[in-house]
Amino acid sequence: MMPSLDQLLLQRRSLRSFSDRPIERGILDRMFEAARWASSAFNEQPWNYVVLDDPASDARLRVLASMEPHNRSWAEKAPVILASVAQLGFRGRGGVNRHAYHDVGQANAHLALRAAELGLTVHMIGGFDHRTAAEALGLSAAFDVVALMAVAYPGPPEVLPEPLRVREVAPRIRREIGEFVHFGVWTK
C-alpha cells in the first residue's frame, strides 16, 4: 500500500549513513517527475538538476571540494550528488525572478518526499561555497546553485562517527504550530 502523505512527512529524514547500492535511472526519474509538478511563479519552473553519479568525475570531485569538510565527510559516500540550480531570470519576459529560489526549494521538497516514498534519503546541503560549486558545474551568471543533495539508500547508523551516529537516530524536533502560525494578527 502507498504510504499516506502523513506517513511520508514523518518518514522523510536527512540521513548521513548511506548504502553503496546504486540508484537506478528509473528511480531518479520518478524523483524528477515529482519535482516537475511543483508550482512556480508564472509557471516559470526555474529548477534544474545536475546529477553527479560518477565518483571519478571532475565535476563531482569539485562540487564535493566546495562543501564544508563536515558535510563532505559523509556526502562523498552518496552514490548520487544532486545539485539543484535556479535560473535567476525569466526565460520569456525577461527580468529577475525573485521567486526562483523559493520555487526550486519547493521542487526539492517534492523530490525529497518522493525519495522517501521510494525508500531513499535526500540530505540537503547548504554548507558549501557557492562560487566554487557554480564553477565546478560550469554555470553562467544566469544560474545559481540553490542546494546540493546527497541521495542514497540508507545505511546502518553504526558506521558513523560520534556525534553523527547519535544524530542519525535522534527524534526529529519541530516547533509547535502555535509558535509559527499567527491567526488574524502577527503576534511577535
Ligand X SMILES: Cc1cc2nc3c(=O)[nH]c(=O)nc-3n(C[C@H](O)[C@H](O)[C@H](O)COP(=O)(O)O)c2cc1C
Q: Contact positions toward ligand X, by CB under 6 A? A: 13-14, 71, 124-127, 147, 172
For ligand X, which is the closer residue by CB, 23 or 125?
125
Which is closer to ligand X, CB of 10 or CB of 22? 10
Minimum gap (Å) between residue 111 Cβ and ligand X = 12
Q: Give whichever of 17 and 71 is closer to ligand X, judged by the CB atom.
A: 71
Residue (3 or 22) nearer to ligand X, CB: 3
At its nearest, how many Å lie between ligand X and the CB of residue 13? 3
Mapping DSSP to helix (H, G, I), strand (E, B) and coil, where does residue 108 land? Answer: helix
Q: How far is the CB of 182 from ligand X (least distance, A)?
A: 23
DSSP class of 64:
H
Query: Which of these, 13, 34, 10, lies nearest to 106 by C-alpha position?
Result: 34
Question: Element (H or E) spanning 148, and its range?
Answer: strand 143-152
How many Cβ atoms are within 10 Å of 132's Cβ, its own excluded? 15
Beta carbon of residue 142, minimum distance to ligand X (angstroms, whole number): 21
What is the strand order of the sheet 80-87 is part of? 47-52, 80-87, 143-152, 121-125
Smallest separation, CB 106 to ligand X (Å): 12
- Cβ neighbours around 72 below 10 Å, total: 17
Distance of CA 85 to the CA centre of its chain: 11
**Among 183, 185, 160, 184, which residue's Cα sits nearest to residue 170?**
160
137 vs 160, beta carbon nearer ligand X: 160
- Residue 187 three-state SS: coil
